[in-house]
Amino acid sequence: MSQQQTRTALVTGGNRGIGFETCRQLAGAGLDVVLAARDAARGRAAAQKLRGPGHRVRAEELDITSAKSVQECAERLAEAGIQIDVLVNNAGVYPTDGFFSLDEDTFSHALDVNLMGAFRTCQAFVPAMGRRGYGRVVNLSSGLGAVTDNIPSPAAYGITKAALNALTLVVSAASAPSVKVNAVCPGWVRTDMGGSGAPTSVEKGADTVTWLATLPDSGPDGGFFRNRRRIAW
So which residues are the catalytic ones? 157
Task: Give the nearest distance from C-beta 177 to ligand NAP in angstroms.
Answer: 26
Residue 63 makes contact with ligand NAP by CB under 6 A: yes
Does residue 182 belong to the site contacting ligand NAP (CB under 6 A)?
A: no
End-to-end CA distance of the chain: 33
Minimum Å distance from CB 86 to ligand NAP?
16
Contact between residue 29 and residue 214 where contact means Cβ atoms under 8 Å apart: yes
Beta bridge partners of 182: 138
Report residue 147: phi and psi, to 5°.
Answer: -65, -30
92 lies in the site for ligand NAP, by CB under 6 A = yes
Query: DSSP secondary-structure letter at 112?
Result: I
Q: Given candidates 7, 9, 10, 15, which one binds ligand NAP under the rule CB under 6 A?
A: 15
| Amino acid letter for position 156 | A
Kindly tell me which of 112 and 221 has the beta carbon lying closer to ligand NAP.
112
Of 79, 192, 196, 197, which lies in the binding site for ligand NAP, with binding defined by CB under 6 A? 192
Taking the C-alpha atoms of residue 13 and residue 33, their distance in angstroms, rounded to an integer, is: 13
Q: Is 19 in the site for ligand NAP (CB under 6 A)?
A: yes
Q: Does 212 bind ligand NAP (CB under 6 A)?
A: no
Q: Is 145 in the site for ligand NAP (CB under 6 A)?
A: no
Interior/surface letters 32-66, b for 16+ CB within 10 angstroms, e for the rest: bbbbbbbeeebbbebbeebeeeebbbbbbbbbbbe
What residues make contact with ligand NAP under the rule CB under 6 A? Answer: 12-13, 15-19, 37-39, 42, 63-65, 90-94, 113, 140, 142, 185-186, 188-189, 191-194, 198
